[in-house]
Structure 1
Amino acid sequence: MPRSTSSDNSPLIPDDDPMAASPLLILIDGHSLAFRSYFAFAKSRQGGLRTKTGIPTSVCFGFIKSLLEVMESENPNAIAIAFDTKETTFRQQADASYKANRSETPEDFLPDVKNLQQLLEGLRIPVITSPGYEADDILATLAHQATDQGYRVKVVSGDRDLFQLVSPDKGITVLYLSGAFAKGSATVGPTEYGVEEVEAKLGVLPSQVVDYKALCGDPSDNIPGVKGIGAKTAVKLLKEYQNLDNIYASLDSIKGAVKKKLEVGKLDAEHARYLAQLRFDTPIDIDLDQSQLQGFDPQVLKPLLEKLELKSFISQIDKLQQRFGGVVLEDIQTNAPNKTDSDTDSDTDSNTDTEEDDDISFFSVAETEEFQEQGSNTGSIQPQIIDTVDKLNQLVEQLKYYTDAGNPVAWDTET
C-alpha cells in the first residue's frame, strides 16, 4: 500500500522539520473504518464474510487489514481507537433530529464490531469510548492532549467533521479514507489532509469548518444550518468575513436576500455551530503511554483469530508481533501433529472462507504462499537480538506466558 500523501504526493511535514522527529500517534475513528469495512465486503459477497459457523467477520477482517496497511505506511509509535456507544449523546439531547436520518444499523454489524474490539484488546491497542459523547469528540480530546505531550497526530477517518482538527502548528493532520481505500484497493491509500487539502476540498480553512457547517449545514448529520444558504455562499461569506461572529457583526454590509436569510436563520446558525463543534474536554480515562505499541500475548490473540477463522493473520502472527512492537519468541512444536487431508480441505473451503483473496499488503506474495504451505502450526526460526532495556522488558513479559514444558524456548547470551 502506498504511503499516505497530500494531493500533490508531497509529505505534509518535510523530513528536515523538527516536528518530523516527534513520535507519531495514529488515532482511528473506529466506527468510520468499521462501516467501510463492513459495506466493502457486504457488497462484494452476498451476506458479507462469515465463518463456517456463521459468525460475521467482514468488519474484523477489513478493519485489521486496513489497520495493518496504515501501520505499514505510517510506521507509528502509538495507536488508539475511539468508538461510539449506544447511549444518547449530548448532541441528541440538544436536538432529537441530529443524525435521525441515518439508516438502521445492519443486525450483523454490532456483533462483528464487538468481536473486533476484542481483537484490538488482544493486540493491546486501547479501545476508548465515552458515554454521551461521540468518537469524534474522543479523537479531538486525545489529539490535543497528545500534541501537548509532544506527539505528532494523524487521525484516520472518512468523516469530514474531523477536518476541523487539522493544525500545522500542533502537528495534526487527517488521513482521509476514500471509497477506493475502503474497497481494498492495492494502489490507493488514505489521503493526508493538511490545511491546503482541506481548503481544496471544502473551500474553507480547517479553522472555518465549524462555521461553514453552521451556515450551510451538514446533510449527513441532519444539521440544516441557515435555510437558503448553500455551500458556495457559505464559502464566499467566510472568505470575506473569516468567521460566523464577524458575519453577523457585519450584517449591515451584506445586502439582499442573503442578509435576510442570515437574519431569519441566526438561531439556526448558532445551533448548528454547537452541533458541529467537536469537544476537547471529553471525559476519557487513558494514559497516552498505554497507546504505545508494545506487542501482544499470542496465547490471548490466537484463540480470537481462530474463532473468527482469520487464517492469514494466524499464519503470519510473528510478523504481526513485530509490527506491533513485540519480541518474537519461536513456539517450536516438534511434536505437533501434521495437518490431515480433512484439515487442508477445511482451510480451502471457498464457500465459507472469511477472507478476501488479497494478501495482507505488508507481506509479500512469496512470503504468504510460504506460510500457507507450512501451515499455521509450523514454526520458523527468526532470531531476535535483545539489545535494549525495553526489548529485555518485553522478553521478560513474554516469557511469563511460556510455561508449557512441551513447547520449550531457547536463547543465547553473550558473555
Structure 2
Amino acid sequence: MADINDDELLDALGVEVAPLKASSRTPREERIIAGFEDILCFHQAYGRAPQHGEGRDIFERLYAVRLDQLRKLPEAHTLLAGLDAPGLLSGVASIAVDVDDLDEDALLAELGIGDEPIDQNDITVLRHVRSNVEKRAAEEVADRTRCTDFEKFQPLFEQIERELKSGLRKTLRFGRDTSIASGNYFVVGGQLAYVAEVGDTIKAPNGESDARLRVIYANGTESNLLRRSLQRALYKDDTGRRLTDHDMGPLFGDTPEPDDIETGTIYVLRSLSSNPFVTEHRELIHKIGVTGGSVETRIAGAEKDATYLLAGVEVVATYKLHNLNRVRLENIFHHLFGAAQLDLTIEDRFGHPVKPREWFLVPLHVIDEAVQRIRDGSIIDVIYDPETARLISQ
C-alpha cells in the first residue's frame, strides 16, 4: 500500500472526523456557569432554592444573593438554560435582601468576592467565581453529600462564628502547621469546615501514611476526602485558613504573644466633663481601657487629651489580670459593647473634630459582669442588649 497520511486513511475507511471546537465561552461566562453550579449543588442537597434570612447559614445567604443577581442578568437565562432543570432562574427573586440598596462593597461582601481590579461600574457581574477546573484543583475533595445529622454540628458552627467575632479564635494562613486532627476547623474553598472524624491510618501509593476523614461543612454538606487531599487543598488555596484553638486559661493562654502583657489592668473610667450630654448620662458613660503600667500614669493629663474628652476622669473600677493579650481583650470589649459605643464628637485643643473611642453607654455592673465572664470563658455565650442594658444569652 502506498504511503498515505492519516487524513487520507480515514477518508478511505469512510470515517468522518468532526473538527474539535475550541471553547467559545468568555471568562465571564465561565464564572457565571461555575457560580450557578454551586447553587445547583445546594438545590440537589436540600431540594429547594437558597433563601435569605438571618437564621440561614451564611453560605445559603450568599447563594441566595448570587441567584438573585443571576435572575436579573438576561444573558444568564440563555447561557444557563441547559443547566437549569429545576427552573431556579424562573423563580421570583427574594425581597428579604434588596441588592439594589447595597453599595458595591456591601454587595461584594455578601457575594464573598475579593478586591481584584475589575470594572467597578458593573456590580452585577459574578466576579471571582472560580471555574470548574480551578475549583477541583483547589479543593481536591471527594464528592460532597448532604449531612443527614447536621443538627448535631450546626451549634458548633454557630459557636465558632461567635468565637471569631469575640476574638477568642483567629484564623491563620495554612502552611506553618499542616497537621489535621479530629476537632480541627478550617476555611477551605471559602467554606468553614469541621473535621468530625479521622479514620484508621492507611498507606498512600507513595508509601506515606494517610487517613480518610469525615469533614462537615457549614452549608450542611459533608465529604470523606483523604487527609492529604485536604492538606493539598488548604495549601493551594490562597484563602485557606486554620482556625486557632482557644485556651481559657488566664485570659486565653500561657504562651506569650507579641501583644501579651505579663501583668496588666483593665480600668473603667467615668468622665468629669461638663459636656451637656456627658453630664446628663454621667453614671452610664464609661471608658474601658487596658494598660500594662500604672493607671494613674495612663490618665495623667486627661484634661489635655481628646481621648479623655478633654476633661478629668474618675477611676471607678480596676481588674488585675495576668498573661493577657491587649489587642484581643480590647477587641472583645468593642465587639461586646459596640452597639452602645458613645457617638460624640468634640474638638481637640487645635479645633479639630475628634470622635473618642472606648467610651460606652453601659452600666458599671454590666462591665463588671463582662470581666467575670471573660475570666471564666462564658463571655462567648452572651451579647449586650442596649434596650435592657444587660448581657443576654445568644
Q: How does the TM-score come out when normalised to structure 2?
A: 0.24
Q: How does the TM-score come out when normalised to structure 1?
A: 0.23
Structure number, greater radius of gyration: 2
Structure holding more helix per residue: 1
Structure holding more strand per residue: 2
